[in-house]
Amino acid sequence: MQMDMDNNGCVDRQEMERFLTKKNINEKYREEIIDKLFQDADLDRNGTIQLDEFVELYWQTKNQLVEKEDELKRLIISLNRNKIAID
């Protein structure tokens, strides 16, 4: 499903709203999700998310997930060393 409905190379809030509606995202959370996405991804604050901004957000998020995964692995290793059961 395409987010850039008018094919202008960027996604505005209205396009994001339509995309999330089609994905059946609960209306209660939709505005909050859109606000957070634009806060994090709209780096030049022009009201749209361009491809380069989206890619930047993707890599930041991916790196944060990798860091959290590494942290979790270290915790599990530490728990195993100390023979602490995880139930």
Percent of residues, the chain, with pLDDT higher than 70: 94
Q: Which residues sit opposite 10 in a β-bridge?
A: 50
pTM for this one? 0.65
Tens of pLDDT, residues 44-80: 999 999 989 989 988 988 888 889 998 999 988 888 8
- Residue 7 DSSP class: -
Taken in order of first residue, the domains within the chain and their CATH numbers are: 10-81 (1.10.238)
Distance CA 11, CA 54 (A): 10
Distance CA 44, CA 1 (A): 25
Could you tell me the end-to-end alpha-carbon distance of the chain, in angstroms, rounded to an integer? 40
Confidence of residue 35 (pLDDT cuts 50, 70, 90): very high
Instruction: For residue 40, give the nearest of 26, 56, 29 by alpha carbon.
Output: 56
